Chain A
């Protein structure tokens, strides 16, 4: 017993250090994969308030550029309005539409805080549970996919951006329809890579990369970027495909959150797939 006390006395500085270090690292590891509460993130109300004030000051620096982007999007959407279309066939009867049912709804949001230089980058948005935001909803901008909601509080939410370690959005390369997972290696915020594309098919440079919409987080066909280069990986039958993101995450301000109205149905159905015993 006396030895034990002597041991603690002798190494008390190191033990205290180790104790705090273990707290910090365990929080880090746990929050990286699944945040238990909002209090240690920018979704908590005090930090979000401070960041919102900061954003109020700095958002004007890129105001004109943002307005231009919004205007462009408006023009694109206006083109599809009934007023700007010419009706060719005038003999149609109006019928109650049962062929199409709304699957995705969109919620607009503003980015109040963002990073791009870290290994794992997050955005804070000014919408939260009150607006119906939940974990695992997709986030995109007018140019392309931005990320997935990671954690929410009452009025704010934190988005895991495309620029994180395990983002794994399922994407496809457009004309040939090859599926793969989007990854980011942590070096350049303009480039990511796709894994899992076997090298028996040829891919054209600058072909479009869009979301696959398999997991119900994003609708099918949202832009992600373009294929910049294709390299073979030694000893493996897959391509290393480098993607140039269409969105510049450094100047991102306006985003939309995807709300899949049929996600419960899809999840319920997929939960019935029997587990593989060997994969456990």
Chain B
């Protein structure tokens, strides 16, 4: 039950953090900070595929409404949610995932998180900028935006987890 409340609270926090704070930060070089993929990442291990995709879609749609992007965030978060189970399966430990733990850097360790979140965030960012710009002759610009934003969003996600999250209890 506490898990449910925690995730509802996170949903609200991530929506407002992204739409009111991080969308207004302008760093330059086409860098666009995005923290909302972290919400999709941190959902419990045993969540069903359909509820995972629906949650990602709804979160994206709400951020879209706040930032006049008309479905861009929803589409890219959905893309990430679709690939999450596939990549989780690929990197699963031999004895399977422990349902008590959370898929965060604190519970699962840096090595696991580094690869899994790295791939998911890269998919998310590439899809976002690809749909946003949608021109083959600007592919270099798409890649520049993707890579730079990816690096900064990634560091931000790690910092947020280190400062704001505690290790899940053993029982």
Chain A residues proximal to chain B, CB less than 8 Å:
13-14, 16-17, 20-21, 23-28, 30-32, 35, 39-42, 44, 47, 50-51, 54, 58, 115-120, 122, 124, 158, 186-187, 250
Q: How far is the CA of A14 from the CA of B71 in the complex (A)?
A: 19
Contact B53–A115 (Cβ < 8 Å): no
- Contacts A28-B69, A54-B20 known; list 15 others, CB within 8 Å: A13-B49, A13-B53, A16-B49, A20-B53, A20-B57, A20-B78, A23-B71, A24-B61, A24-B71, A42-B65, A47-B66, A51-B66, A117-B26, A120-B132, A187-B141
**CA of A187 to CA of B135 in the docked complex: distance in angstroms?**
13
A24 contacts B30, CB within 8 Å? no
* A27, B61: Cα distance in complex, Å: 11
A115 touches B23 (CB 8 A): yes
- Whole-angstrom CA separation of A32 from B64 in the bound complex: 13
Tell whether, in the assembled complex, residue B20 and residue A41 are in contact, meaning their CB atoms are under 8 Å apart. no
Given A41-B65, A250-B26, decide whether A24 and B60 contact each other with a Cβ distance below 8 A. Answer: yes
Whether A31 pairs with B141 at a CB distance below 8 angstroms is no
Known: A40-B65, A115-B67, A116-B26. A24 touches B133 (CB 8 A): no
Report B-chain residues with C-beta under 8 Å of the C-beta of A118.
32, 69, 132
- Assembled-state Cα–Cα distance A20/B59 (Å): 13
Partner of A28 from the list B49, B70, B133 (CB cut-off 8 Å) is: B70
User: For B65, what are the chain A residues with a Cβ–Cβ distance below 8 Å?
Assistant: 39-42, 44, 47
B157 at the A interface (CB under 8 A) = no
Interface of B is mostly: helix
Q: Which residue of A lies closest to B67 (CB)?
A: A115
Taking CB as reference atom, which chain B residue is nearest A40?
B65
Contacting pair A28 B71 (CB below 8 A): yes
Flag B46-90 by CB within 8 Å of A: 1 or 0 each.
Answer: 000110011001001100111111111011001100100000000
10 nearest A-B pairs in the assembled complex, by CB-CB distance: A31-B70, A28-B71, A24-B75, A24-B71, A122-B68, A24-B74, A27-B71, A119-B132, A17-B82, A28-B70
Task: State how many residues of chain B have any CB contact under 8 Å with chain A.
Answer: 33
27 contacts between A and B (CB under 8 A): A13-B50, A13-B82, A14-B82, A17-B53, A17-B78, A21-B78, A23-B71, A24-B78, A27-B70, A27-B71, A28-B69, A28-B71, A28-B131, A31-B70, A40-B61, A40-B64, A42-B67, A44-B65, A47-B66, A58-B24, A117-B26, A117-B32, A118-B69, A120-B68, A124-B68, A186-B138, A187-B30
Determine how close the nearest CB of chain A comes to the CB of B140; give it in whole angstroms: 11
Complex Cα gap A13–B65 (Å): 26
Interface set of B (CB-CB < 8 Å, partner A):
20, 23-24, 26, 30-32, 49-50, 53-54, 57, 60-61, 64-72, 74-75, 78-79, 82, 131-133, 138, 141
Residues of B within 8 A of A41 (CB): 65, 68, 70
Q: Bound complex: CA of A25 vs CA of B75, how far in Å?
A: 7
Residue of A nearest to B58 (CB): A20
A162 vs B74: C-alpha distance in the bound complex, in angstroms? 25
Known A24-B78, A116-B26; judge A50-B50 contact (CB<8 A). Answer: no
Do B131 and A117 touch (CB < 8 A)?
no
- Whether B30 contacts A117 by the Cβ 8 Å rule is yes
Pairwise interchain contact B71-A42, C-beta atoms closer than 8 A? no
Chain B residue with the shortest CB-CB distance to A121 = B68
- Could you say which of A26, A50, A115 contacts B68, with CB atoms under 8 Å apart? A115
Given contacts A16-B53, A117-B30, A119-B133, contact A21 B79 (CB under 8 A): yes
Q: How far is the CB of B25 from chain A (nearest CB, A)?
A: 9
- Report the minimum CB–CB distance from A65 to chain B (whole Å): 16
Bound complex: CA of A39 vs CA of B66, how far in Å?
11
Instruction: State how many angstroms separate the Cβ of A165 from the closest Cβ of chain B.
Output: 9
Distance in angstroms between the alpha carbons of A54 and B19 in the assembled complex? 11
Chain B residues near A31: list those with CB within 8 A. Answer: 70-71
- Whether B71 contacts A25 by the Cβ 8 Å rule is yes
B80 vs chain A, min Cβ distance (A): 11
